[in-house]
Amino acid sequence: MFSFYNLLLFAHVLLFVYWLGSDVGVFYGVRYILRADLSLETRRTVMALVHWIDVFPRICLVMMVPVGTSLAIVTGLIEVPEAQQTPLMLMLWIGGLAWLTIVLKLYTGTNGALAPVDWTVRIVVMAGFAVAGIASLAGAGPVVEGVNWLAIKMILYACAIGCGIALRLLGKPFGAAYGQIMAGNSTPEIEAALSQSMQRSRKVVILLWLLVATTAYLGVTKAV
């Protein structure tokens, strides 16, 4: 039966599937970019594929905000007066789609000037969900008292954003080294810098997967 709730629930599930699935594909593909024994053309082709796949985790992270929060409002898990529910969800979707537009423009390289805006939004959203989750566990809302699993999901989502920020910072040497290699300036030192950047990011990537998987588990089981 079609309903707004079922549509939100379906979208929520798809976001988890594409977030984890595409992220694994990106992680695996990078292994071939690190291989100095492969031709530049092969490595460039793999990078193009990885870059295309990498857009999906970015979309999923952003859209979790309007989809997940709207789902919690519709099911009454977040305390919002009925008259304010529709306006609040409308604001969430407008804000979420605006953030997604910024992310996609940065991803395609069409407007690098938006980078500070994206960083600010990520930090604000991360802090907002962390505070809301901790406050809810303390009984101060906005999550209905006793629904601890949702409060914990909020905190885990904030941590996932933090992992994404960490990966961006750790990935800067990777981008610089890759650019040198593609320009034909490969040296053992540059290849080592490429590999070391990936090694530093690996633990954060695995932590991110665990956070996303745990968040999905809590949503399904409501075990806490």
Instruction: Provide the pLDDT for residue 92.
Output: 96
Q: How confident is the model at residue 172 (pLDDT cuts 50, 70, 90)?
A: confident
Q: Which domain holds residue 99?
A: 4-221
Instruction: Provide the pLDDT for residue 85.
Output: 92
- Which residues have CB under 8 Å from 171's CB, separation 6+? 197, 201
What's the structural domain count of the chain? 1
Inter-CA distances, 40 with 95, 98, 161, 201, Å:
41, 37, 33, 23
pTM score? 0.92
Contact 196, 171 (CB under 8 A): no
Q: State pLDDT tens for residues 173-206.
A: 888 898 899 988 888 999 999 899 888 899 999 9
Instruction: Provide the pLDDT for residue 184.
Output: 85
Compute the distance between CA of residue 209 and CA of residue 191 in angstroms, rounded to an integer. Answer: 27
Compute the distance between CA of residue 165 and CA of residue 153 in angstroms, rounded to an integer. Answer: 18
Cα-Cα-Cα-Cα torsion 49, 50, 52, 56, nearest 10 degrees, comes to 140
Q: State pLDDT tens for residues 41-90.
A: 999 999 999 999 999 999 999 999 999 999 999 999 998 888 999 999 99
